[in-house]
Chain A
């Protein structure tokens, strides 16, 4: 009896369609988000994350409709991130049916946003998404990122001038209820999670940590949990059917980690 490790498929949504970049550069269309959400739910996904990468207002409005449609049909928690910069944005998404909101760049520019959202809606709705990259000069280096990891923006291309571990700790003190940790070096490589990064953040915060970036094979998931992750997130491997949610759970269970197996029969939706 204990809390199950969550397996979370992430859907990058642009203008109503799901896309996933390989290292955020080459986009490939992988389907309708509502259909994908239903499929993942049926496969046993514990939670879903929509990352809105739309550049336009029209694209954002479409995402809102997709969030509503998903919340009407899928009865597992839904996190939405991407471009959220104000309490009003959060309010709109929660009203549309999101359960949690992930903030990233806007919180870097204005950390008070974290406490503003937490004060209004509680820290349980607020996920801090951190795009962390290894610094070139390693731990103890001269620049930002004395821990060996720095915060980046623009899909990992620009340094935000913040130490990633310190930022995660500070944001959780400000009111972030969870850390979504994206390892930018590992993202898209399918070579496995950045275990040192997960362990460093786990030591620095007392809120749940979601490991993201690098999942490629089944044997990658259990070590992320061993390193301290409370949940594991992946996109590409799920969208293209390389791995199934159930298989990931099997691999976690085989390594001794608790997972959720649903056997109740549901009333029709």
Chain B
């Protein structure tokens, strides 16, 4: 689990352990690159998270792992920083750019989107969901004011299309989770999502 100054990670570590993983909190690049799986957590402001990530060259660790097909899981702002850029309070911050798309303010009557929501789990004939297997109809805990409201990655017949799972709040739709080869991410907090979150983390750990 990448430790780049993004708040308290104790619950996330405990939740991963509960899911069957042996967890090392690290800011060390070689350690992050060699692990069977890398979790990128994140809470707070996009710009602060990106600055923290860059300070330990975390985006490089993510990029190298993905080039080698090694699994990475982003959580909350840890998902948002995987996109091209984020706009918070009018400030535009460049992200890791693993996926095209912009993180922007949610357009709902009540923001933050705070609480337990369901996810529209996408399944395609070619690709079954790994993360949501057995928990397709469960609630997960969200707490965020920004999200990815437009998924723009185009795919052709020769690429395996990513699974993009959406959620809805107050009439606005946004990306709740993505499964894209070795790169997975959730906008919600599986480590705070009770038994359903534990099952999702266990699904990810089992696939490593």
Q: Which residues of A contact B (CB under 8 A)?
A: 1-4, 6, 41, 46-47, 68, 71-72, 75-77, 94-97, 99, 121-125, 177-178, 206-208, 230-231, 260-269
Contacts and interface: CB of A to CB of B under 8 A. Distances in A.
Interface residues of B, number: 46
B198 A208 contact: no
Contacts of B167: 1
B135 A3 contact: no
A207 B111 contact: yes
Given A2-B117, A46-B115, A267-B198, A72 B20 contact: no
A77 B140 CA distance: 11
Contacts of A96: 8
6 contacts: A125-B43, A177-B145, A206-B110, A208-B112, A208-B114, A266-B199
B145 A124 contact: yes
A260 B116 contact: yes
A72 B16 CA distance: 12
Interface of B: 7-8, 10-11, 14-15, 18-20, 43-45, 109-118, 120, 134-135, 138-139, 141-145, 167-170, 191-199, 202
Contacts of B144: 124
Contacts of A95: 8
Task: Give the secondary structure class of B's interface.
Answer: mixed
Contacts of B14: 71-72, 75
B135 to A, nearest CB: 5
Among A68, A123, A231, max chain B CB count under 10 A is at A123
Nearest to A178: B114
A122 B8 contact: no
Contact of B10 (A4, A47, A71): A71
Given A124-B112, A231-B115, 17 more contacts: A2-B117, A2-B169, A3-B115, A3-B116, A4-B115, A72-B11, A75-B11, A75-B15, A75-B18, A75-B193, A97-B11, A122-B45, A124-B144, A178-B114, A207-B111, A267-B20, A268-B18
Given A72-B10, A262-B138, A267-B19, A207 B169 contact: no
Contacts of B20: 267
Given A124-B112, A262-B194, A94 B8 contact: yes
A90 to B, nearest CB: 11
B138 A123 contact: no
B112 A260 contact: no
Contacts of A208: 110, 112, 114-115
A1 B192 CA distance: 20
Contact of B114 (A1, A124, A266): A124
B138 A263 contact: yes
A4 B116 contact: yes
Given A124-B145, A264-B135, A75 B198 contact: yes
Contacts of A41: 194
B10 A264 contact: no
A230 B193 CA distance: 18
Contacts of B202: 267
Contacts of B142: 3
A123 B195 contact: no
Contacts of A261: 139
A261 B116 CA distance: 10
Contacts of A76: 141, 192-194
Given A121-B44, A208-B110, A269-B18, A3 B141 contact: no
B174 to A, nearest CB: 12
Contacts of B143: 77, 99, 124
A228 B198 CA distance: 31
